[in-house]
Amino acid sequence: MLKFRLPIIAILFILAITVTGCQQAAPTISQEEIEQAVQQTLAALPTATGTPTPTATPTPTSTPTPVIVQYGPENFPQNVNPLTGLEVADPEILNRRPLLIKVANFPRDGRPHAGLSFADIVFDYYTGGGSNRFMALYYGQDATQIGPVRSGRLVDPYIVEMYQGVLGCVYAWKDTWTMILDYLGFTRVISEGPNTCPAMCRDEAINKIKPEISVFANSAEMSKYFAARAGATNTRQNLDGMAFHTIAPDGGVDAMKLKHQFGKNSIAEWTYDPETRKYRRLIEDLKESGLVEMIPLVDRVTGEQLQFSNVIVMFVHIEQLNKDDTLHEFDILNNTGRALIFRDGKMYDAFYKSSIHTPIQFLDAEGNPFALQPGNTWIHITGSRTSLTEEAPGEFFTSNGLP
């Protein structure tokens, strides 16, 4: 290959001089100078020795530097979900209000739950009698099946208003239902009825056996259903407030496991997976013998165990309003309090701050935004008297405490 380059390049060099000479008097250049210029040009070209053959890409000798992602607590790009710190495939999905859908944890017949792995945030709180219930928030992505959908509680409209969202539930006790509608307005509350499907549908086969676990929602269809309502404004809201960073903050203590207990037989357990940098969820399985066994909590939709990037325990004053322990007031709005944040196999003692129309913010000891790991977040809302113990190195246990 190399022997064909010399004449061609030399000719091009001489032609360039000749063309220039048509415009102005060309300086005198010796043959020796021409050959020297050609040799300099050839020296700058890659050396060719026969037909080139492909070579394998060298294997890196060191671990590639991880991509660092940092967003928030404000000025999120249009294609970044401010509730997860993750880019979305289609930014159009963020041009709506978040959907917050109530999901039953009891009775156990309704497990495994559907669609929780698609939620940006799951709020998990005490409902009385040692039991708990979830409220799953969908914004950056949708789930085609979510549930079983259950009734509302007094705390729900406060959380929904912080995220300027839409509540999905199956009614509530009369006084609670009135309070929810008064607070959010009829338009921003969707409850299962004869005309709500496919946004919220009742599975008739399950309904014949156990009606309380027979309703399921579809978040994309709920957005459409809400947008079609008179007076609805299903536009992008300002959801600034949370902060995200792939590099964990300094400090913290090793925390490979967290067990949170709402009641004797209502237990959540999380184990950290260093490979995925997520906490895997387990849940109690009550045997006929009365013994409790912890088993992986899977999503009915995917069949895979739930994994969350951040797990948070929020300490909130909870007031029991009736002797049956079925009605509670949560002092969660316009408040600050203690929070335990688990991310990257570490536990951090931090704070939360809540206010209307603003997502819950998490702060360090100096009052600066505490950065969560980009991804989904599970929040246990527990009593202000909840105890914290370290059962073994890196294994923590929190037990729900009520005033």
pTM for the model stands at 0.84
Whole-number average pLDDT of the chain: 87
Of 25 and 350, more confident: 350
**242, 245, 247, 249 alpha-carbon torsion, rounded to 10°:** -30
Cβ–Cβ under 8 Å, residues 336 and 343:
no
Q: Are residues 123 and 240 in the same domain?
A: yes
Radius of gyration of the chain (CA): 31
**Unique residue bearing structure tokens 């300099």:** 40
Domain residue limits at 33: 2-44
Q: Residue 65 above 90 pLDDT? A: no
Q: Are residues 14 and 137 in the same domain?
A: no
In the chain, pLDDT over 90 holds for what percent of residues?
Answer: 80
Cβ–Cβ under 8 Å, residues 138 and 101:
yes
- For residue 112, whether the previous peptide bond is cis, meaning omega lies within 30 degrees of 0, is yes
Q: Are residues 136 and 19 in the same domain?
A: no
Q: Are residues 94 and 13 in the same domain?
A: no
Q: Are residues 196 and 129 in the same domain?
A: yes
Q: Residue 21 above 80 pLDDT? A: no
Q: Are residues 18 and 129 in the same domain?
A: no
Q: Examine residue 254 and state whether it is found in any structural domain, yes or no.
A: yes
Q: Residue 125 above 90 pLDDT? A: yes
**Unique residue bearing structure tokens 């959010």:** 184
Residue 67: its pLDDT value, please? Answer: 83
For residue range 368-393, list pLDDT tens digits in order. Answer: 999 999 999 999 999 999 999 999 99
Q: Are residues 102 and 182 in the same domain?
A: yes
H-helix or E-strand spanning residue 286: strand 278-286
Q: Examine residue 126 and state whether it is found in any structural domain, yes or no.
A: yes
Give Cα separations from 324 to 155, 210, 383 (angstroms): 18, 23, 17
Q: Are residues 208 and 102 in the same domain?
A: yes
For residue range 86-97, list pLDDT tens digits in order. Answer: 999 999 999 999
Q: Are residues 26 and 77 in the same domain?
A: no
Residue 232: its pLDDT value, please? Answer: 97
Q: Residue 36 above 50 pLDDT? A: no
Q: Examine residue 211 and state whether it is found in any structural domain, yes or no.
A: yes
Q: Examine residue 50 and state whether it is found in any structural domain, yes or no.
A: no
Q: Are residues 80 and 15 in the same domain?
A: no
What mean pLDDT comes out for the span 306-313?
98
What's the CA gap between 243 and 390, in Å, rounded? Answer: 28
Residue 252: its pLDDT value, please? Answer: 97
Q: Are residues 137 and 222 in the same domain?
A: yes
Of 241 and 49, more confident: 241
Which of these, 236, 218, 72, lies nearest to 164 by C-alpha position? 236
Q: Examine residue 113 and state whether it is found in any structural domain, yes or no.
A: yes
Q: The domain that contains 236 carries what CATH number?
A: 3.50.90.10
Q: Examine residue 251 and state whether it is found in any structural domain, yes or no.
A: yes
Which SS3 state, helix, strand or coil, does residue 158 take? helix
Number of domains making up the chain: 2
Q: Examine residue 49 and state whether it is found in any structural domain, yes or no.
A: no
Lowest model confidence (mean pLDDT) among 59-63, 108-112, 189-193:
59-63
* Residue 100 confidence class, pLDDT cut points 50, 70, 90: very high
Which of these, 335, 337, 343, 336, lies nearest to 371 by C-alpha position? 343
Q: Are residues 13 and 81 in the same domain?
A: no
H-helix or E-strand spanning residue 371: strand 371-372
What mean pLDDT comes out for the span 145-151?
98
For residue range 66-75, list pLDDT tens digits in order. Answer: 689 999 999 9
What mean pLDDT comes out for the span 114-123?
98
Residue 66: its pLDDT value, please? Answer: 64
What mean pLDDT comes out for the span 42-59?
37
What's the CA gap between 346 and 279, in Å, rounded? Answer: 11
What's the CA gap between 214 and 352, in Å, rounded? Answer: 35
- For residue 198, whether the previous peptide bond is cis, meaning omega lies within 30 degrees of 0, is yes
Q: Examine residue 53 and state whether it is found in any structural domain, yes or no.
A: no
Residue 76: its pLDDT value, please? Answer: 98
Give Cα separations from 197 to 100, 188, 271 (angstroms): 17, 17, 37
Burial of residue 179, with CB atoms counted within 10 A of its CB: 0-12 exposed, 13-18 middle, 19 or more buried: middle
